[in-house]
Amino acid sequence: MNKSKIFFYFCLSFIGGIFFSSFFAPHLLFLGGGLIFGIIFISLFWQYKKIAVLGFCLLFLVAGSWRYQTAEFKSLNNELVKLNNSEQKIILIGTIVKEPEIREKSQKLTIIPEEIKTVENSSRPIEGRVLVTANRYPEYQYGDKLGLTGFLKSPPVFEDFNYRDYLKKDGVLSVMNFPKIELIGSGFGSPFKKGPFYFKNRFKEAAEKFFSPPQLGILKALIFGNEAEISNTWKEKLNLTGTRHIAAVSGMNITIIGFLLLSFFLGLGFWRQQAFYISIFLLFLYILMVGAPASAVRAGIMAGTLMTAQYFGRLSLASRAVVFAAFLMLILNPLLLKYDVGFQLSFLAILGLIFLQPIFSEWVKKIPESKFFPVKTTLLTTLSAQIFTSPILVYNFGYISLMSPLTNILIVPFLAPITILIFIFGISAIIFLPFGSLFFLPVWLFLSYIVKIIDWFSQFSFVSLTLENVHRIWLPISYLLLAILIRHLQEKQKLKFLNY
């Protein structure tokens, strides 16, 4: 057992501890028992390497569980949480730390408080974030410092969606609805974020001059993950056809785009080194364009890890690198594993590419591949990612898209070239608006093709299967069966190779 494999087991144990605490909330006595047994195994059986490693794995399991419980305890006992629903009018001074989410009649502002005062004029420092719902106008910008007067409330928990937990993973512990707002100053944000936000807004303005719905909504969703301009009707069509991932800066979407970019440039005749660096640069630029939200950065790290493994021809060891990346992210924020579906999708999509794509590739190796229209690569990439992410999607959203493999085969091959074309269109239009017209037609044709495919396939009555009240036991059973199946297929391929 080499050092790399041992460290892989340690990281996996830490993640397992977070997973265990996320769903079962073990008592401190249980954690203490695990700690004692771990120390005993290490102390008494040090000369037996495997038993000593097991002892360290127990320690990492306990460490992961403890890390999750301390994060939960910290969020439950935060000063913001104590002020929620208190009916006390609050005076809050804070700075907008994310790009405002613009809705039709309102805007959402994420605020980090610097100071909070109650009616008794007591002031206290506060950790955490507040999500403010304000009127549509006047508009506020990232980095604006505001004074807000209103009431703090706990985020709601809906019947089919725990909005409170969804916000908690990002440190948002309170909401404030339509407070009185006073602009204190501007320009308090990070200069590293101001540039991407400025570029993003200029890009949107240019796109609005050339495109109209539904193409405009698909473009903004595809590039910026902004679904605000997609109607509910079209959101339902995306769900029915299993293509909702193209309308979000999701882990699965970024993973597939990154993987296809590398294959696309290799197909154009670039050397592997050139294709790798161009793809990494475009992926980095894409994440900057969408404002570098935490979800996109995490997905980019995962996708970059996989592309690096592919570049060095060590795809078989990529699982260790991906687990290590997840380990580092969960040390910083252990709440991601349970509450962030995007983190789950990015992690599972990459595992699907690592374990399933080589198996599928062997099955279809005799089918020729087109360099300029990589149907085989797209099919393998999409199918591998979707098989691994389907149990999570079913558990969270309660439906299975029966048409998803076919619609994705028809759409996903175009994601890499259309992303590049949209980049070129946007930069050209920002530099000089008439330049954008040179690239308008091909971008419009691609978008219209995507719209037609989604619209046509969503009309079939058998397009999806709806499931209600999916029990959490579905997840461990699904992934256990998937692991057994993959193990069986790998052994079968290995035996076939040895016989050959």
CATH number of the CATH domain containing 122: 2.40.50
Same domain as 321, residue 459? yes
Q: Tell whether 476 is covered by a domain.
A: no
Same domain as 68, residue 86? no
Last residue of one domain, picked from the residues 134, 155, 189: 189
Same domain as 248, residue 137? no
pLDDT value at residue 130: 92
pLDDT value at residue 248: 61
pTM of this prediction?
0.75
Same domain as 204, residue 145? no
pLDDT value at residue 496: 56
Q: Count how many domains the chain has.
A: 3
Same domain as 241, residue 131? no
Same domain as 234, residue 169? no
pLDDT value at residue 390: 81
pLDDT value at residue 131: 93
For 91, residues 6+ apart whose C-beta sits below 8 A from its C-beta are 116, 117, 118, 147, 148, 149
DSSP states of 104-173 as a string?
SSEEEEEEEEEEEE-TT--EE---SEEEEEEESSS---TT-EEEEEE--BPPP--SS--HHHHHHTTTEE
Q: Tell whether 496 is covered by a domain.
A: no
Last residue of one domain, picked from the residues 76, 92, 120: 76
Q: Tell whether 131 is covered by a domain.
A: yes
Same domain as 98, residue 58? no
Structural domain that includes position 459: 198-469
Same domain as 123, residue 250? no
pLDDT value at residue 177: 92
Look at strands 172-177 and 129-135 and give their pairing: parallel
Low-confidence ranges of the chain (pLDDT < 70): 1, 119-125, 225-229, 245, 247-253, 255-257, 259-260, 289-295, 310-311, 313-317, 367-375, 378, 399, 416, 461-468, 494-500
Same domain as 260, residue 150? no
Same domain as 127, residue 276? no
pLDDT value at residue 329: 85
**What Å distances lie between residue 267 and 211, 262, 374, 419, 440, CA to CA?**
30, 9, 8, 16, 25
The whole-angstrom separation of Cα 23 and Cα 373 is: 44
pLDDT value at residue 367: 67
Q: Tell whether 437 is covered by a domain.
A: yes
Same domain as 40, residue 164? no
Same domain as 286, residue 230? yes
Q: Tell whether 244 is covered by a domain.
A: yes
